[in-house]
Amino acid sequence: MFDTLTSRFETVFSRLRGRGRLSAEDVDAALREIRVALLEADVNLDVVTGLTERIRQRAVGEELSGALNPAQQVVKIVLSELTASLGGERLTVTYASKPPTVVLLAGLQGSGKTTNAAKLAQWFLRQGRSPLLVGADLQRPAAVEQLRTLGERAGVPVFSHRRGPVKAASASLAEATRTGRDVVIVDTAGRLAIDAEMMDQVRRISKAVRPHYTFLVVDATVGQDAVNSARTFHDTLALDGVILTKLDGDARGGAALSVKEVVGRPIAFASVGEKLEDFEPFHPDRLASRILGMGDVETLIDKAESAFEAEQATETASRLLEGTFTFDDFLTTMQQVLGMGNLRSLLGMMPGVPRELRGAEIDEGRIGRITGMIHSMTPQERAEPDIIDASRRQRIAAGSGCRPSDVKALVDQFKQMRSAMKGLGGLGGKRMAASKARSSQQAGRPGGKPSASKRRGSGGRTTPKGPVPVSKTPLTLPGLEKGEWPGLN
């Protein structure tokens, strides 16, 4: 689909390797690619213009460092500019001295207000507050019922009033005082920014409850129009922040950048899944690399953490590097990986996946067949694939409904991969062991001061003097970074 920005830049910059500074012409050539990347991520056209101008100013005249090539250096500037644009001032919720603290949610239809009202309520609950949810969406059928169900799930009471949204909102304050709730979250109906009547209604709700915080709920899949609606909502309600939703899909989320630029208020929270807990403070750095299509490593690791048993994964990985990886390990790992989502979207999130692979069609049906074949092996065969001869192949094939040649292909592939990984094991295994040792060591010494020298390639050593320097490039397993994909060539 879309190459990483770096490799696009490398083409642009191939002519100028080794010069001292980035010239205006060099930067202009790169800016074109940056614009394309931003537009494909749904950043608004006008916002793109402003951003690229800032990037130009930062990049022109930049001294070329020895460590990075010009392409990498420009990417670094772009990333840090995007991160700064998305981040900047942070929103810290302070509570009203005279409770309740009132939070108002507004936004377009279908952006996720009701769901996120409940998520926010649960977040307040975790902060030790006692929130009250208020259903002021009397427009959409069953919106209040939805809020009640969600409130029940979150363990938060829900208040509503049939006599209209403004009435419901204003009556909720007295209800909060009466029942001793110190945070009130008002869920309003979805509305179009150009609907004058509905915008007036939300203004009246806001007037009635005088919110301490007004959040605009914005959907990460929104395109160019994000600026128009955000501007109108901001003009009407004076927003304090933004809640970015639907980051669990694969939308780049460039709209967040547009909204941030127009509204000038921080993106406070991000909703990253369907469960009530899938709600967290916003990470500008993650979204910046996501917008540039550079792979969202942090989100990938998040997903991995929830799908993998960390200890078990480390065990498996060390066995892999030692060359004692079995088909059973493979099966477990495969199931865990599949638990994280479909393979294609995982490929999309991994940085530096070769282009040919990124676009590859993966027939997910094959996974079932692979599972079937492994299930048809005896425990001994799974542990020692070398013993699988023609007659065993025949039996496995019969057991899994495949051809013996399929079994042969799988076993060969497995063995080839295993020996390739073992080849790396010399370095990697030590490294992995060392990292385990380090983490246990540091757990014992919470005050241990980490030093962050930039060691590359070789693994660390544990010396009697204490923790070894920690490498800053966590994913640099030898061999893997250079596009050598064991078993994939």
Partner 1 sequence: MTLEIIVGLVVLAAVVLAAAIAVRRRRRLQAVGAREEATAVDEVADRVVGRLADRAAGSTERSTVSLRDRLSKARTALTGSLGSALERASTSTEAWTEVTEALIRADVGLGASSEIVDAARSRIEAAGHEPSAAKAALQTELRERLEGYDRSLARRSDGGGPSVWLFVGVNGTGKTTTIGKLAKREADAGSGVVLAAGDTFRAAAADQLAMWAERSSVHIVRGSAGADPASVVYDAVESAAARGADLVLADTAGRFHTEHNLMAELQKVRRVADKGSGVVTETLLVLDATTGQNGLAQARQFTDAVDVTGVVLTKLDGSAKGGIVVAVQAELGVPVKLVGVGEGIADLVPFDTLDFVEALFA
Asked if 113 and 104 count as a contact pair (C-beta separation under 8 A), the reply is no
Closer Cβ to partner 1, 178 or 454, answer by number: 454
Binding test (CB under 8 A) with partner 1, winner from 158, 199, 291, 321? 321
Write down the least CB distance from residue 137 to partner 1, Å: 11
d(CA 71, CA 361): 30
Give, as ranges, the residues between 208 and 267 that touch partner 1 (CB under 8 A): 219, 221-226, 228-229, 246, 248-252, 254-255
* 6 near partner 1, judged by CB under 8 A: yes
Binding test (CB under 8 A) with partner 1, winner from 174, 194, 238, 398? 194
Q: State phi, psi for 101 to the nearest 5 degrees.
A: -80, 125
> Phi-psi category of 309—alpha, beta or left, where left has phi over 0 and alpha has psi -120 to 50?
beta
Q: State phi, psi for 106 to the nearest 5 degrees.
A: -140, 160
Q: State phi, psi for 343 to the nearest 5 degrees.
A: -60, -35
148's tokens: 């009640």
Closer Cβ to partner 1, 18 or 450, answer by number: 450
* 472 near partner 1, judged by CB under 8 A: yes
Residue 439 CB partners (closer than 8 Å, separation 6+): none
Give, as ranges, the residues between 282 and 301 that touch partner 1 (CB under 8 A): 285, 288-289, 294, 297, 300-301
* 328 near partner 1, judged by CB under 8 A: no
- Taking alpha carbons only, the member of 261, 267, 140 closest to residue 198 is 140
d(CA 74, CA 87): 20
Binding test (CB under 8 A) with partner 1, winner from 27, 30, 31, 121? 31
* 112 near partner 1, judged by CB under 8 A: yes
Q: Which stretch binds partner 1 (CB under 8 A): 24-32, 96-104, 205-213, 381-389?
A: 24-32
379's tokens: 């425990």
Binding test (CB under 8 A) with partner 1, winner from 15, 19, 57, 68? 68
26's tokens: 């060099």
Instruction: Indicate the length of the chain as a whole number.
Output: 489
* 354 near partner 1, judged by CB under 8 A: yes
Q: Are strands 131-136 and 213-219 parallel, antiparallel or unpaired?
A: unpaired
d(CA 66, CA 96): 52
Q: Count residues contacting partner 1 (CB under 8 A)?
A: 149
Q: Which stretch binds partner 1 (CB under 8 A): 163-171, 180-188, 387-395, 470-478?
A: 470-478
Binding test (CB under 8 A) with partner 1, winner from 23, 87, 212, 395? 87
* 79 near partner 1, judged by CB under 8 A: yes
Residue 435's CB is within 10 A of a number of other CB atoms, namely 18
Give, as ranges, the residues between 142 and 161 that touch partner 1 (CB under 8 A): 142-143, 145-150, 153
Binding test (CB under 8 A) with partner 1, winner from 16, 314, 383, 427? 314
* 428 near partner 1, judged by CB under 8 A: yes
